[in-house]
Amino acid sequence: MDYSFFRRKFAGLDAIVCPGDPDDPVIIFCHGYGADADNLAFFPSACPFKGIRPTWIFPHGVEDLSYEFGEGKAWFPLDIPLFQSLISNPDITPETEQQYQTLFNIDFEKPKTALENLIEELGRPRQDVILGGFSQGAMMTTHLVLSSKIPYRGALICSGALLLDKGWENNVNLCAKVPFIQSHGYQDAILPYYHGERLNKLLSSRLEGDFISFKGGHEIPALVLQKMQETIPLWTNTLS
């Protein structure tokens, strides 16, 4: 199957688009820190679906990073010295847990608004939109889903984390119910596995989804792609 890719702006946000069938869902998938949309262009060919051909949109993050990160992008800035000290110390202590929360104590309004404006410009109802992301992109996906009283088609949350200062504990009881696939590696050295466990505990307290734990690190393995291939067409059939 052939795939075409185009560069486009949505409400000022640069993105890569892989068009699909206009009657099928749109999957918006957000990259992690230091990467960009080009890093995700493998998805359409690596994750084809039986019976549907969604449009994939890979937006670039709203923050430009310095040269040492290869001129990559981010959805929000990080305290790099703090981040480096955390990944160099694998021990899980109350102090490191607090440091992780400090690391992510960032205002999400700028990236949230950029992504919501992208969705608005698409002109598609939110029930046609599947949100997804990896690492920082997974955090933005979680934030948008838990902030919306209008349901998205689904959520793909790869190597995310529970953030304690974003109102998620309250919002999970108020947001629209959205099915999700969540994944996290047991050997993740960037966001240790317990971050995924805690996020899943929150999400599954009200939302229905699958949590895929795998032997591996900060990555999206074939096992997770296979789960997406199996599940996303079911989300489509449920609402068709």
Predicted local confidence at residue 69, as pLDDT: 55
Q: What would the pLDDT profile of 117-172 be if each residue is shown by its tens digit? A: 999 999 999 999 999 999 999 999 999 999 999 999 999 999 999 998 899 999 99
Take residue 231 and report the two structure tokens written for it: 């599940």
Radius of gyration of the chain from its Cα atoms, rounded to whole angstroms: 17
Other C-beta atoms closer than 10 Å to the C-beta of 53 total 18
pLDDT band at 70 (very low <50, low <70, confident <90, very high): low
Predicted local confidence at residue 2, as pLDDT: 81
Pick the range with the lowest mean pLDDT from 86-95, 114-123, 152-161, 194-203: 86-95
Predicted local confidence at residue 90, as pLDDT: 72
Q: What is the CATH number of domain 6-239?
A: 3.40.50.1820
Residues 6+ apart with CB under 8 A from 217: 185, 187, 188, 189, 190
Q: What would the pLDDT profile of 100-123 be if each residue is shown by its tens digit? A: 889 898 899 999 999 999 999 999
Average pLDDT over all residues of the chain: 93
Domain map (residue ranges) of the chain: 6-239
Q: Is the pTM of this model over 0.85?
A: yes
Alpha carbon separation from 160 to 124, 155, 212, 222 (Å, rounded): 26, 12, 12, 18
